[in-house]
Amino acid sequence: MSGLEIRQATIEDSALIHKFITELAVYEKAENEVLATVADIENSLFGAESTTDAVICNFNNEPVGFAVYFFNFSTWLGKHGLYLEDLYVSPEHRGVGAGKALLKHLAKIALSKNCGRFEWNVLDWNEPAIRFYKSIGAEPQSEWVGYRLSGKALKEFAGG
């Protein structure tokens, strides 16, 4: 992992984070679903009300990936957990250890904050990621099914 450095993201990284988000969406075949702008990233990640955080991975002083995370809470454990919203490494830099370095960095944050869990989701077709996650000891959580209210359905439900 020589040449790798993980650093806290700053508001000056907003355009870079937006670029990585767009690249991730292309990889996940969902480019048209990215509605966020650079200004949205600035406000949401770095604004006064932000509850999210981000880190940037550099390889030989070049930004090659990022992770966005936040803290959730487990009532059963009575502890916070760290939830990884997104992790992305540029295709040309995969294999240098950037993804593993990002995950280790976040795992250390989780332990330093006394979190009971470190969780994330992965698309069911993303076999390379699934193999990688299993190789580091992560286990799939298949007993829960995720649900989402968004857009029109969220507005209608909240207003009704």
Active site (catalytic) residues? 133
- Per the structure block, which two tokens stand in for 99? 């993804």
Residue 140: phi and psi, rounded to 5, are -70, 145
CB atoms within 10 A of CB 62: 10
- The Cα 75–Cα 34 span in angstroms is 32
Give the residue carrying structure tokens 């992790």: 87
What residues contact residue 122 under an 8 Å CB cut-off, 6+ apart? 129, 130, 133
Q: Smallest Cα–Cα separation from 6: which of 63, 50, 45, 52?
A: 63
